[in-house]
Amino acid sequence: MKSLFITEKPSVAREFAAALQINAKSRDGYMEGEKAVITWCVGHLVTMSYPDEYDPALKKWDLETIPFIPETFKYEVIPGVKKQYNIVASLLNREDIDTIYVCTDSGREGEYIYRLVDQEAHVSSQKKKKRVWIDSQTKEEVIRGVKEAKDLSEYDNLASAAYLRAKEDYLMGINFSRVLTLKYGWTIANYLNQKRSVVVAVGRVMTCVLGMIVKREREIRNFVPTPFYRILGHFDCSGFEVEAEWKAAEGSKYWKSPKLYKENGFLEKKDAKDFINYLEEGTDRETVVESSSRKKEKKNPPLLYNLAELQNQCSKMFKLSPDETLKIVQDLYEKKMVTYPRTDARVLSTAVSREIYKNIKGLMSYGPLSEAASGILEEKKYQGLAKTKYVDDKKITDHYAIIPTGQAVGSLAGLPVTAQKVYDVIARRFLSIFMPPAVYTKIRLETRTKGESFTATFKVLSDPGYLKIAGTGGQKKEEPLTKEQMDAIASLRKGMKLPVNDYKIKDGTTTPPKRYNSGSLILAMENAGQLIEDEDLREQIKGSGIGTSATRAEIIKKLITNQYIALNKKTQIVTPTLTGEMIVNVVNASISSLLNPTLTASWEKGLTYVAEGTVSENEYMQKLDQFVAQKTNNVKQTNFQYELRRSFDQIAPFYQKSGRKKNGKEKK
């Protein structure tokens, strides 16, 4: 009897054959040795059938035939890959094969790819089915994965979540896209002077993301800048000038005054001038020291990369789209250079932390970081890693963070330059966690003039620590103070008087929110619509976001393909098109809950509960059917054509300015 290994790609199949030392000969669509057969899917081989497979009459889009919610779903082999499906199906049912090792990607989608083939091929339940779950494609990890393969049934809840995700996208996509197109497709087409009805493509995640982009664009559009005027004092400290900023602290004559913008700027320039006159009267051009301090501040290395953080970093540093970053890191994974990329975790598992010296050792042959890797090994800085914030089994669902395997480093030179740069970013972040924190000296001076508070703060890098190898913009910059100047400020005592050179007004203006770029949009999706710049805070509030690490890049790509959004390749800035904004108006009038990031994230969270076994497939399906039916019927019973035309009139002028693109194409 033989074992059958099923992977997702031919290249992965070859890696498994090599790692398991199966002396296999190539056949058409598979490889065979004495004791084992290895075959592959080519991505999805089976898909859900369109409604007309249930009834030919359903091919025509008609309000009378929706909501379409079948009791039993139909599936079919994808025509373009039928040959490979037949090969895989016949191998699965071969009498001399008694054990099947499922080696598709270790995640929800990989699980779904195999389960669909198993289902359509009607594989006997008598055969043993084992699930291989690996974090990298190195020889050691493949051998471990096969050796420790669990019974496939242990992943039934994950498979249920995968089926439900597909049904959810199918039901919402078909019903909502059809009902909104039938109701409002001509309303949009007529407005855009198009001769065919516009298809209103709607998706559970895609539409929510489009809504986020449009919302941000409107915030920028409606933003009214507010000028404000800050007061700066220039004081003499042992022969050099210190600039300090006034703030209306408690006790100030302007404490909580309506004349201020926040607590440090006047709304009217006249009030700022009057305040300076007040400060200069009867003070002998002196200010009194309230306090001065010097203290050390440590900054620890950041957590490791998950896919979203890496996509954000590569968007910033290399102007790569999320889709481009994913392709590169997937290729690095398949070349055994990095661990599994489609991960949400930013930490390592306890088991991996025990063997981590192997990954570090491999980086000794990576030129730019060989010295750092050698130092970490020599000083055994990796010991005790399991007790740090970088290792936490509770924060890992399917896979740990993306790190270098330490293998195949010699192959790097043959890769495109961009791939080398992405590898370098991952390797630097990884080695950073074994380095000491960066240490800053923080100098703070507070003075008072007539009871009004002025503060100057300086932050000086005194020990770069991990920043020496971080390589993401943390390099040492020109310092604001010399050591003598720092000593002079720190030596000041309460009650001392400093000469005032002058008080000046500094003009400022409030700025609108920033547009999303492709990387910050991925982060906002990960955090259920909140763009949180602070890394530590992001980690604290993290839950199930919109979409998954495996699907977010594809969703953004689909919005671009549909011409609902435009992506500037040079800056990676994302903006809506006129059609995209019109679609949001249609959805907002009809099924507004689709635009709510929190609600969309709650559907994703529900799938996580199914995968964990805390919510049953039936419970989830009932909720889904009810939601789709109710929302579809609501749209059928309402008519917003007139209101929508009026809303289109309001937004259209913003897409007719010179130099702007209309619907992703240059205006004719």
CA 253 to chain centre: 46
- Which residues touch 133 (CB under 8 Å, ≥6 apart)? 106, 145, 149, 150
Residue 549's pLDDT is what? 86
Instruction: Measure Cα distances from 60 to 55, 170, 434 in Å.
Output: 10, 17, 61
Read off the pLDDT band of 601 (50, 70, 90).
confident
Task: For 541-569, write each residue's pLDDT tens digit.
Answer: 455 578 888 899 999 999 999 999 999 99
**pLDDT greater than 90 at residue 170:** yes
Task: For 451-484, write each residue's pLDDT tens digit.
Answer: 999 999 999 999 999 999 997 654 446 668 888 9
| Residue 76 β-bridge partners | 47
Task: For 314-355, write each residue's pLDDT tens digit.
Answer: 999 999 999 999 999 999 999 999 999 999 999 999 999 999
Instruction: Measure Cα distances from 650 to 564, 581, 647 in Å.
Output: 18, 11, 5
Percent of the chain with pLDDT over 90: 88
CA 478 to chain centre: 32
Task: For 385-398, write each residue's pLDDT tens digit.
Answer: 999 999 999 988 78
13 sits in which H/E element:
helix 10-19
Q: What is the mean pLDDT of residues 138-163?
A: 96
Cβ-contact 244, 447 below 8 angstroms: yes
- Which residues touch 324 (CB under 8 Å, ≥6 apart)? 314, 418
Q: What is the mean pLDDT of residues 257-280?
A: 95
**pLDDT greater than 80 at residue 219:** yes
3-class secondary structure per residue, 408-444:
CHHHHHHCCHHHHHHHHHHHHHHHHCCCCCEEEEEEE
Residue environment code for 131-159, b if the CB has 16+ CB neighbours within 10 A, otherwise e: bbbbbbbbbebbeebbeebeebeebebbb
**In 527-577, alpha helices (H):** 535-541, 552-561
Residue 582's pLDDT is what? 98
Residue 284's pLDDT is what? 87
CA 633 to chain centre: 34
Helix, strand, or coil here: 222? Answer: coil
**pLDDT greater than 60 at residue 359:** yes
Instruction: Measure Cα distances from 588 to 557, 582, 614 in Å.
Output: 22, 10, 32
Instruction: Measure Cα distances from 38 to 1, 41, 139, 585 in Å.
Output: 14, 11, 16, 51
Phi first, then psi: give them for residue 138, nearest 5 degrees: -70, 160
Residue 472's pLDDT is what? 64
| Amino acid sitting at position 396 | I
Helix, strand, or coil here: 446? Answer: strand
Instruction: Measure Cα distances from 461 to 466, 471, 482, 603 in Å.
Output: 12, 16, 11, 45
Read off the pLDDT band of 61 (50, 70, 90).
very high
Q: How far apart are CA 201 and CA 564, in angstroms?
A: 10
Phi first, then psi: give them for residue 424, nearest 5 degrees: -60, -40
**pLDDT greater than 90 at residue 426:** yes
- Which residues touch 256 (CB under 8 Å, ≥6 apart)? 248
**In 263-366, alpha helices (H):** 269-280, 307-318, 322-334, 350-354, 356-362
Q: How far apart are CA 371 and CA 469, in angstroms?
A: 10
CA 26 to chain centre: 40
Q: What is the mean pLDDT of residues 93-105?
A: 97
| Amino acid sitting at position 509 | T
Q: What is the mean pLDDT of residues 643-655?
A: 97
Read off the pLDDT band of 659 (50, 70, 90).
very low
Computed from CA positions of residues 460, 462, 466, 467, in that sequence, does the dihedral angle turn out positive or negative? positive
Residue 158: CA count within 13 A, CB half-sphere: 19
Read off the pLDDT band of 661 (50, 70, 90).
very low
Q: How far apart are CA 290 and CA 293, in angstroms?
A: 11
- Only one residue has tokens 């471990």, namely 144
Read off the pLDDT band of 533 (50, 70, 90).
low
**pLDDT greater than 90 at residue 304:** yes
Mean of pLDDT over the chain: 93
- Only one residue has tokens 């910033």, namely 316
**pLDDT greater than 60 at residue 588:** yes
Read off the pLDDT band of 536 (50, 70, 90).
low
CA 488 to chain centre: 46
Phi first, then psi: give them for residue 319, nearest 5 degrees: 55, 40
